Amino acid sequence: MGVGVEYPVTLYSMTVKNAEPLTLRWAQGEVFNSPKRFRVLVAGRRFGKSYLSCIELIRAAINRPGETYFYCAPTYRMAKDIAWKEIKRLVPREWIQSKNETDLKIELINKSTIELKGTENAMALRGRSLAGVVLDEAAFMDSEVWFEVIRPALADKQGWTLFISTPDGTASWFYDLWCYVPEDETGDWSRWSFTTIEGGNVPKDEVEAARAQLDLRTFRQEFEASFENLTGLVAVSFSDENISTKAVDIPIQPVLLGVDFNVDPMSGICAVRDKENLYVFDEINLTGGATTWDFSEEVVRRYGVDRRIIACPDPTGGARKTAGVGATDHSILRRSGFNVSTPRAPWKIRDKITCVNTALLDATGVRRTYIHPRCKQLIKSLRTLTYAPNTGLPNKNLGVDHAFDAFGYLCLQQFNLAKPQTMGQTDYRIY
């Protein structure tokens, strides 16, 4: 069957007035029609995973009266944003006995209930007897959600589970689960992997647009459902081709300043924009207990009081106060005459990594960033910073992350690659 093929889904055992005709695309149908008790679906972004999960839950709740079914997302907010409206839209009104907007719970006239849960406090979900569960974005939940909470809750009812997620690297319990399925000897498990295109919900040109907004590894993970190995070098897109003497200051342009607030060292990355390209022409590394005031004075010493400076600092500096001063790091930068460009909430670490790699070389082969050879600390950081074992996060113990972080804040603010574009995400994340 082809990507665009749809077929009707029958959920109701009796005639339901004004019920919406339901259809699934062929890839979703492969999972929906499987009789396996435990099903693992790895799929690209906008595949239709959440729509499939809602239909699964409704079918189960209608066909098996008096039981409890869970839809679980990594957070309560995600559960509400992703699935609550969809559930309410898909369940026929005449089948609804009651509805609780606070607890995200629907009781059907056959006494079955569908409850939406966030797993940020997994232990709060203990003690329930469940006939079926959907774990949506399972890769981004703690392993205890499955092993200590959900799996025991299914035992007395011999309940089922549908695991749905985009991948999150290979250093995770979800990847281990994925690898286990082919070795299962009980016959209870099955797995599928589908790309975004195979889901049939996103036009090919939209996927190609995303390719230009992400580095190759992230694109493969997010849109091709590939388990990417988050080990080795963090800046996998960096090469000698990013080092160039053409990365020089352009005096008529404002200085773009990435800032990482560390006492030792305090790091700054100095760059200018020329159309789509970023030219990193200098770096600042202050040791010996330098303060944000010291850092600001060094910037003014190098570029004067009349040069426009746009600082792109660590967002947490808006709350953290410099010792003995009572002013935040961000306010010190502003008092020094700099414009401060930063989001209200901190960036996720993996968003920063993705943006750095995309700025260095995107998935279409385009380089946006060139670094002057004099920026030795940044080059060293890009060449040597590796992931900590079994974490998928940079190894801070190496002591080479400060220049990388300063560069990352600059890339995030200037390229804006980690924000929603046209894919319609409600809670966008790169990983």
For the stretch 312-368, pLDDT in tens is: 998 876 666 554 456 888 999 999 999 998 877 677 888 888 889 999 998 888 898
- What Å distances lie between residue 356 and 15, 122, 168, 277, 350, CA to CA? 55, 33, 18, 13, 10
Within a domain: 109 = yes
Residue 205: Cβ within 10 Å count: 9
Which pLDDT value is given to residue 18?
A: 57
Say yes or no to pLDDT of 72 above 50: yes
Within a domain: 223 = no
Do 267 and 126 lie in one domain? The reply is no
Percent of the chain with pLDDT over 70: 89
Rounded Cα–Cα distance for residues 400 and 385 (Å): 6
Q: For the packed helices 349-360 and 216-224, what is the interaxial angle rounded to 10 degrees?
A: 120
Q: Between 191 and 220, where is the model more confident?
A: 191
Strand order in the sheet with 38-43: 96-100, 105-108, 113-118, 68-73, 132-136, 160-165, 38-43, 189-194
Q: What does the DSSP assignment read for 368-422?
A: -EEE-TT-HHHHHHHHH-BBPTTTSSB-GGGS-HHHHHHHHHHHHHHH-TTS--S
Residue 307: Cβ within 10 Å count: 15
Residues of the domain holding 85 = 6-218
| C-alpha closest to that of 280 among 236, 242, 224 | 242
Do 210 and 276 lie in one domain? The reply is no
Do 191 and 118 lie in one domain? The reply is yes
Do 201 and 291 lie in one domain? The reply is no
Within a domain: 1 = no
Within a domain: 145 = yes
Q: Say how many domains are in the chain.
A: 2
Do 382 and 262 lie in one domain? The reply is yes
Do 179 and 99 lie in one domain? The reply is yes
Within a domain: 235 = no
Quickly state the pLDDT bin for 158 (edges 50, 70, 90): very high
Do 325 and 211 lie in one domain? The reply is no
For the stretch 119-128, pLDDT in tens is: 998 888 888 8
Do 20 and 109 lie in one domain? The reply is yes
Within a domain: 379 = yes
Q: 404 exposed, middle or buried (CB, 10 Å; 0-12, 13-18, 19+)? A: buried
| C-alpha closest to that of 409 among 325, 286, 296, 317 | 317
Q: Model pTM greater than 0.85?
A: no
What mean pLDDT value characterizes the chain?
85
Rounded Cα–Cα distance for residues 382 and 403 (Å): 9
Say yes or no to pLDDT of 50 above 80: yes
Do 257 and 174 lie in one domain? The reply is no
Within a domain: 154 = yes
**DSSP assigned state of 328:** B
Do 110 and 173 lie in one domain? The reply is yes
CATH number (domain holding residue 306): 3.30.420.280
For the stretch 84-102, pLDDT in tens is: 988 988 888 888 899 999 9
Do 61 and 178 lie in one domain? The reply is yes
Which pLDDT value is given to residue 281?
A: 96
Please report which residue ranges of 91-165 form alpha helices under DSSP H: 143-144, 151-153
Within a domain: 430 = no
CATH number (domain holding residue 176): 3.40.50.300
| Average pLDDT of the segment spanning 232-251 | 92
Do 288 and 173 lie in one domain? The reply is no
